Amino acid sequence: MSEPARDTRFLRRTLTSLSGILIWAAHFGLVYGVQHVACREGAGWTGFVKPVIYLATVLAAALMGLVAAKARSWLAPDDPGAPDVSIFLRAVTHILLVLSLFGVLATTASAVLLPTCGALR
Amino acid sequence: MSEPLSPVPRPEGEEDELLRIWATPKGWRLPTAVNNTVIGLLYLGAAFVFFVAAGILALIMRTQLALPEQELVSQDLYNQMFTVHGTTMMFLFAVPAMEALGVLLLPQMLAARDLPFPRLSAFAVWAYVVGGTVFFLTIFIDLAPAGGWFMYPPLTLMEYQPGDNADFWLLGIGFIEISAIAGAIEIIVGVLRTRPPGMSLDKLPIFGWAMLIFAGMIMVAFPAVILATMLLEIERAFGWPFFTAELGGDPLLWQHLFWFFGHPEVYIIFLPAAGLVSMIVPTAARKPLVGFNLIVVALIATGFFSFGLWVHHMFTTGIPGLSLAFFSAASMAVAIPSGIQFFSWIATFAASERKIEFNTPTLFVLGMLFIFLIGGLTGVMVAMVPFNWQAHDTYFIVAHMHYVMIGGMVFPLFATFYYWVPIVGKRRLSERLGRWSFWLIFIGFNVAFFPMHISGLMGMPRRVWTYPAELGVGPFNLVSTIGAYMIAAGVLVFIIDLVRNFRVGEGGQDNPFGAGTLEFLPQDVYSTRSIPHVSSRYPLWDDPDLPRSVAAGEQYLPDAPTGGRETIVTSAIHAKPQYIVQMPGPGWTHVIAAVFTAACFLLLTVKIVVPAMLCALVAVGAVLTWVWSIDKGPDAGPVSIGGGITLPVYVTGPISHGWWAMMVLWVVAGSLFIAFVFSYLYLWTVSPEVWLAGREFLPQLGWPLGAGVLMLGAAAVMRLSRRALPSPGERNLLAPLAVLAAASLAGAGITAEIYGHWTSGLRPTASSYGAMVYLGAILTAQLVLAIAIMSGFCAARVLAGKLDRVRWASLENTSLLLYYTTAQFLIALILIHGFPHVMGGAP
């Protein structure tokens, strides 16, 4: 009996495939958290909110671009003769990146259009 | 033509041996059964009974509302009815029904003999049946909660809702959620690790993907509401002011936690149903699903985006406009993946090269497309803040959520009944009755709920017992009531169909709809005769000889080499065979554990503490007895499974399914802890002055340092205890002592943390700050208690010669839990003792 077959790089493959949506989640949590705390703290803090959101957006987009560029090598198949899973994971990764980028930009658009802390009337 | 992987003909008596091993207990021993088909049917049947019961409550409510100013039921009873209706439909019907389908269908779709933790599934089901039944019965004895299915404080605080009614909701639902989490662990490990060889992730049926995302969402979403119910119950029972504004609490914290669960809950219900639809549509169209990869992406994206929508339910609470816009944007983003699924289903139908047969499953799927589409569109409407303000808390929302829930979940469920009954029943359900049922439900639904959009826009508020005739909504309500009775008639026709035609057992046509997936292989109590090698998404279409080959025992594992219940465990991504998991058979322990766990919670609800503790002891004893026999060791292996593959029957470490289950448990515990951290920081932002005042109660640095060192010491000793384990066949005292020492150090660590705060004068009832500090310790203390029990168990196994250097899964699991607990405790120490120093401001 040989050693049981293993899935190498399971964590890396999973994180790479989900990276777009994870970046969206981190961006969403950051901008909502920063805005919530700043608006509670008051005037001295609110000026930082929009720059932080824009910076977070640039960072998120850059990270997504990096993943898109590196996905092929990060998801390379163990067995070059059986590439189906890698092709599938690459497709999932790229489509999720596009969807997530839309989510990030939609969140940022809110910051462009609305005041930082005011309630709607 | 399938290549034989196992030699044929198979030996005489081999199938009889499988039938004997997997036989379902009969008569009074039936509750001991753990086979997924029995447990899945019990689960699904119980969920359907709750659906009917909650539906009857809805009929009574609709009758009350049929005409203005009626007094068929009292106002208080009406409040209890809508609370129990909503709670039952969400917690006792929708989520359990989907988990039930996972338990029932996944092993069949994966051609596994069973899911990897069959007794855990059985425990979850019995706990749910007992707890759910008692909860529902409270409506008959005036003990049902009356605060709406989302139980907002301050309405549900003790001063506004005295008595035990709200506690039944809090403890009952919290308990049922734990049962749901147990089921979700089973589903995640089952989908990732018990797929047939060759079924890599790109070939996993869409329902498997949907259940994977569903269970993952439960892991993250349910802990938030478990924490919320803990907070509210602790405030009601002991007066810790999490939600009391004058002591630094905030009722909106409940809404944040509840809706962080509550909005994903909609998708938790919808995604598996969408997965079911994605299985039925290709069969109806005789075409592979168009855009398989896109559907997978849509499921994942919907799962994630749905966690960015919770404030969608809080648009009228005075939150700043920009915050609302963030959530409004996410609400629109989630419409995209939902739309992807719709277009994929339509495209698959359109790609069909033959006339589509409008049989009952297809009709229910088409009904779902129509109804869920309307619910989705009104969902986009209410995601717009200005419109939401107008429609909030009106019947427009009632209409919207029923279009989403019934369209998104109930219609696919009925399609499922008609489509998958042949794999567990002796014959199909009646097409004629099925069509009657569909048209009655479909027309009745639209008659009942479409007018509610109008009555809502005319100003009829939700959750009203009656309404004045002058409001002008009487005719709409009368029409809605007529529609509700039409739905009931449709459900009644379905029940008649069940009674007439549904008989559990073998003998029916294996694949009456001509489906392409594995659940329509020939089945018996052992699942499939042999486990096929899979090389495509629709193996029954691509290899028409496969059913014969599987039934002839030509594929993997046609026998029972360990002499007991077992299935193949494969790798998570590529589905390469890794080992044989030996699974437990029927027994009473999980039933006793479930019944006494439910009894403990219910007795606590009515404040009968000592009997509740006794029940807890019995439940823990039953669980320990149950797990004592699970770790069977490596003696029966290695074994040949066919195809020249020989596998071990016992493994530990990252390859084992137990290790994976512990990782999933880490995620659950981590989600609970993150919800706590969120709550702590949220209340700080609400009442910073309370946090500043709390600074003076911070213990000396020695207390947290000492507590942290003790916990780290516990982890280190636990790690060393593995080295002290005896060789196989031997016993020693050193290992048990080391394990118990580790548990004692962990206990000392958490005690030091609590005692440090107590001696500094901090009291949990004095302010929300004190309450949060002690809650942080409680969250770790409950893990330490579990570790103490598990350590005692491990010590006993070493002394009994059942835990050694090779057979050490029990200790591995205990160690993994302790490592997680140590990490959580250290982060909590930094938060509790560090954050007040850096948050700024002067006391």
pLDDT in tens, B676-686: 999 999 999 99
* Terminal alpha carbon distance of chain A: 72
The CA distances from residue B156 to B134, B167, B226, B245, in Å, are 20, 9, 16, 14
pLDDT band at B766 (very low <50, low <70, confident <90, very high): very high
Phi, psi dihedrals of residue B572, rounded to the nearest 5°:
-70, -35
Residue A43: pLDDT above 80?
A: no
CA distance B708 to chain A (A): 29
**A79 is a domain residue:** yes
Contact between B320 and A103 using a beta-carbon 8 Å cutoff: no
- Residue B367's nearest CA partner among B446, B298, B290, B254 is B446
Give the span between the Cα atoms of B17 and B564, in whole angstroms: 9
Give the span between the Cα atoms of B49 and B43, in whole angstroms: 10
Q: Averaged over B304-316, what is the pLDDT?
A: 89
Contact between B308 and A111 using a beta-carbon 8 Å cutoff: no
How many beta carbons lie within 10 A of that of residue B41, not counting itself? 20
Contact between B638 and A88 using a beta-carbon 8 Å cutoff: no
**A2 is a domain residue:** no
Secondary structure tally for chain A: helices H, strands E: 5, 0
CA distance A46 to chain B (A): 12
Contact between B336 and A102 using a beta-carbon 8 Å cutoff: yes
- Residue B230's nearest CA partner among B757, B683, B782 is B782
pLDDT band at B5 (very low <50, low <70, confident <90, very high): confident
Contact between A87 and B333 using a beta-carbon 8 Å cutoff: no
Contact between B648 and A32 using a beta-carbon 8 Å cutoff: no
C-alpha dihedral (B171, B177, B183, B185), degrees to nearest 10: -110
How many beta carbons lie within 10 A of that of residue B49, not counting itself? 16
Alpha carbon B531 to chain centroid distance?
28
Within chain B, all domains assigned CATH 1.20.210.10 are found at 33-501
3-state secondary structure (DSSP) of residue B277: helix
Q: What is the pLDDT of residues B119-135, one digit of tens each?
A: 999 999 999 999 899 99
Give the pLDDT confidence score for residue B636 in this predicted structure. Answer: 85
pLDDT band at B715 (very low <50, low <70, confident <90, very high): very high
Beta bridge partners of B567: B581
User: Is the minimum CB–CB distance between B572 and chain A shorter than 8 Å?
Assistant: yes
- Among B192-201, B324-333, B432-441, name the one with the lowest average pLDDT: B324-333
Those residues with Cβ within 8 angstroms of residue B612's Cβ, 6 or more apart along the chain or in another chain: B599, B600, B601, B603, B604
Mean pLDDT of chain B: 93
**A6 is a domain residue:** no
Q: Which residue of B has its CA nearest to A75?
A: B573
Residue B805: pLDDT above 90?
A: yes
Closest CB to B336: pick one of A22, A89, A99.
A99
Q: What is the ipTM of this complex?
A: 0.93
- H/E stretch holding B802 reads none
Q: What is the pLDDT of residues B284-297, one digit of tens each?
A: 999 999 999 999 99
CA distance A59 to chain B (A): 18
Give the span between the Cα atoms of B674 and A25, in whole angstroms: 14
Phi, psi dihedrals of residue B161, rounded to the nearest 5°:
-130, 75
Give the pLDDT confidence score for residue A4 in this predicted structure. Answer: 63
Contact between A103 and B578 using a beta-carbon 8 Å cutoff: no
Give the pLDDT confidence score for residue B434 in this predicted structure. Answer: 97
Q: Which residue of B has its CA nearest to A5?
A: B578
Please, is A113 exposed, middle or buried when counting C-beta atoms within 10 Å of its C-beta (0-12, 13-18, 19+)? exposed
Closest CB to A115: pick one of B322, B571, B651.
B322
**A106 is a domain residue:** yes
Residue B648: pLDDT above 50?
A: yes
Q: Averaged over B574-580, what is the pLDDT?
A: 93
In the stretch 496-535 of chain B, residues with CB closer than 8 A to chain A read: none
User: Is the minimum CB–CB distance between B13 and chain A shorter than 8 Å?
Assistant: no
- Residue B372's nearest CA partner among B337, B402, B413 is B402
Contact between B574 and A7 using a beta-carbon 8 Å cutoff: yes
Closest CB to A5: pick one of B320, B332, B576.
B576
Class of domain B33-501: mainly alpha
Those residues with Cβ within 8 angstroms of residue B278's Cβ, 6 or more apart along the chain or in another chain: B206, B207, B210, B289, B295, B341, B344, B345
**A78 is a domain residue:** yes
Give the pLDDT confidence score for residue B841 in this predicted structure. Answer: 56
Give the pLDDT confidence score for residue A6 in this predicted structure. Answer: 66
Which chain A residues are Cβ-neighbours of B328 within 8 angstroms? 110
Residue A120: pLDDT above 80?
A: no
Number of structural domains (chain A) is: 1
- Among A72-81, B649-658, B739-748, B770-779, name the one with the lowest average pLDDT: A72-81
Q: What is the pLDDT of residues B410-435, one digit of tens each?
A: 999 999 999 999 888 888 999 999 99
pLDDT band at B331 (very low <50, low <70, confident <90, very high): confident
Give the span between the Cα atoms of B511 and B534, in whole angstroms: 18
**In terms of DSSP bridges, do strands B645-647 and B577-583 run parallel, antiparallel, or are they unpaired?**
unpaired
Give the span between the Cα atoms of B827 and B833, in whole angstroms: 10
Contact between B200 and A78 using a beta-carbon 8 Å cutoff: no
Closest CB to B202: pick one of A36, A88, A116.
A88
- B interface mutation test: which of A87, A88, A113 has the most B CBs within 10 A? A88
**A75 is a domain residue:** yes
**A7 is a domain residue:** no
> What angle separates helix B657-686 from helix B206-238, to the nearest 10 degrees?
50
Retrieve residue B194's tokens: 């018990």
Closest CB to A7: pick one of B294, B385, B572.
B572
Eight-state DSSP code of residue B425: B
Give the pLDDT confidence score for residue B843 in this predicted structure. Answer: 45
The percentage of chain B sitting over the pLDDT mark of 70, rounded to a whole number, equals 99
Give the pLDDT confidence score for residue B570 in this predicted structure. Answer: 95
Please, is B507 exposed, middle or buried when counting C-beta atoms within 10 Å of its C-beta (0-12, 13-18, 19+)? exposed
The percentage of chain B sitting over the pLDDT mark of 90, rounded to a whole number, equals 84
> What angle separates helix A84-113 from helix A19-41, to the nearest 10 degrees?
20
Q: Averaged over B502-519, what is the pLDDT?
A: 87
Task: Count Cβ neighbours within 10 Å for each residue of B91-115 and write b for 16 or more, e otherwise.
Answer: bbbbbbbbbbbbbbbbbbbbbbbbb
Those residues with Cβ within 8 angstroms of residue A19's Cβ, 6 or more apart along the chain or in another chain: A63, A64, A67, A93, A96, A97
Task: Count Cβ neighbours within 10 Å for each residue of A74-107 and write b for 16 or more, e otherwise.
Answer: bbeebeeeeeebbebbbbbbbbbbebbbbbbebb
Contact between B296 and A21 using a beta-carbon 8 Å cutoff: no
Give the pLDDT confidence score for residue B354 in this predicted structure. Answer: 82
> Does the domain spanning B667-838 belong to CATH 1.20.120.80?
yes
Question: What's the domain range around A64?
Answer: 12-113
In the stretch 286-315 of chain B, residues with CB closer than 8 A to chain A read: 293-294, 296-297, 300-301, 304-305, 307-308
pLDDT band at A41 (very low <50, low <70, confident <90, very high): confident
> What angle separates helix B36-65 from helix B75-87, to the nearest 10 degrees?
150
pLDDT band at A3 (very low <50, low <70, confident <90, very high): low
Closest CB to A28: pick one of B200, B294, B308.
B308
**A108 is a domain residue:** yes
Instruction: Please give the residue that has the higher pLDDT: either B607 or B470.
Output: B470
